[in-house]
Structure 1
């Protein structure tokens, strides 16, 4: 089990409270300015947004982390990625604007949903970015459906199995504290000297237009099933992707923050040893949410990888 990811049992309500109380001031290109559409996939109905749909560049699909919804990506991060390509955001089944049965949910189920979304939207062979749990989903997708993934970005993630490195007991104690507050949480997502970045991320999410409570919908049964999917269904013996990673064909960027206390940095090195065609992106003085420390710059770095010949 990766107990650190249990932070999302409390984070949805914290972000929702902050976001819905913030003034709406984002520009017209903010992700939430794009209407939510839905598509039926594998017995679920997935809510999604398509930014810059007329772009000629290869599409990029973003896969959310544990308990996150598509409205919680930093808007400047998404906007920068969408400057020269179509970007597809979506909610995993049973969360945010998506619905569907979640009993017995696994990472494989979410990978199958993502494959169904790519096919239904006729995206061809897009690039895929997965953050945290989204990285687990992205690995399964790329291994099971290699014709649906051109390039892969794995951010703050691990290969599962008993080989994966878990957070310290102190981090687990913080994240499982029922009285957790935003001031307790941000130091777990961001290093101590990067708290301004954490506050900026929350403010940016909250400043998006058209936000409603549905954008942050995190039903208890979905959270419980996602937690199980992230625990014994990913870290048990014979689980995860560790044993299969040498078969991964997609060129892969592995990004990690050197101060990540939720998915310790050793996991990135573990991935790098197993994935054949990989580039390692080490971000100093950064934590689990390194994507949202100077988010436009991180998106530009990902752009360079995706555009490389």
Structure 2
């Protein structure tokens, strides 16, 4: 996959499709591989899909010092500049959705439409479940429902084997986690001006669905879609429903 130098980072990225740009921002620890292949392929039939690894994840540079979610949003904005894209719609999931919120607040001139997946405003207005599996590597129970796991075991085993080597570890994971813990847009959401779609799975044990309810209430004019029988990894388990919601919103 290509890399591009953005400030003091070498950012690993991938572009699929053509058309209006859609920048997709992945969550804590994960690399661009964790989107799976189906959802990016579905979206790339309609848009120029830009995937990338956040700092301290995948094949993007490791950071030399602590940073904030707002700085990670700056990375995303700088990546668009480096790729010659003056504006894009942005879809962020989990921590990537937190980054996307700061992108919307700090780089509104670069944003067309905003899509927030299974994410939260942070601070005191959010409710989180058990995220320890993200730190221990016990991911399946956090990402998928028991029924999906039992009926897709070989596919999920292959998925984890492919993606796990690119997950953040050690100090890199700690820096990302510390940045996520300091995220707080509770009193800033009303300042988001971009048309916004909020998506969640109804059985998410990590970032509970009521966090999406809060985002949808506080962001002016936000639309909301809840995917049935879906957990935190709905982008992988329910790619068709996810793609349909995004394509309908971006039309």
Question: Please, what TM-score do these two structures have when normalized by structure 1?
Answer: 0.75
Give the TM-score normalised by structure 2: 0.91
Secondary structure at the residue paired with 2:230?
A: coil
In structure 2, the residue matched to 1:58 is: 20
Shift of 1:72: 1.6
Query: Comparing both chains, which one has the higher relative contact order based on Cα–Cα distances under 8 Å and sequence gaps of 6 or more?
Result: 1
Corresponding position of 2:149: 195
Give the length in aligned residue pairs: 251
Unaligned runs of 5+ in 1: 1-35, 235-239
CA contact (8 A) 1:75 1:205 kept: no
Partner of 2:226: 282
Structure 1 position 294, deviation (Å): 2.8
CA positional deviation for 1:201: 5.7
CA contact (8 A) 1:47 1:98 kept: yes
Cα shift at 1:212: 9.3
Matched, 1:111 2:73: yes
**Deviation at residue 100 of structure 1 after TM alignment:** 4.2
1:227: which partner in 2? 177
Q: Deviations over 1:166-185 (max 9, x none)?
A: 21xxx35x63895x65xxx4
Are 2:199 and 2:212, in contact at CA under 8 Å, matched by a contact in 1? yes
Cα gap change, 1:200 to 1:105, in 2 (>3 Å): farther
Alignment of 1:109-258 (within 5 A): 109-167=71-129, 171=130, 175=133, 181=138, 185-196=139-150, 199=153, 202=156, 205=159, 216=166, 218-231=168-181, 233-234=182-183, 240-258=184-202
CA contact (8 A) 2:11 2:52 kept: yes
Rg comparison, structure with higher value: 1
CA contact 2:11–2:55 (8 Å) conserved in 1:
yes
Gaps of 5+ in 2: none
Cα distance in 2, alignment partners of residues 140 and 283 from structure 1: 25
For residue 71 of structure 1, report the CA deviation from its aligned partner. 1.3
**Equivalence for 2:212:** 268
Q: Is the 8 Å Cα contact of residues 62 and 172 (structure 2) preserved in structure 1? A: no
Query: Cα gap change, 1:226/1:298 in structure 2, threshold over 3 Å: closer, same or farther?
Result: same
- CA 1:261 to 1:190, structure 2 compared with 1: closer, same or farther past 3 Å? same
8 A contact 1:249–1:276 mirrored in 2: yes
Q: Secondary structure at the match of 1:162?
A: helix
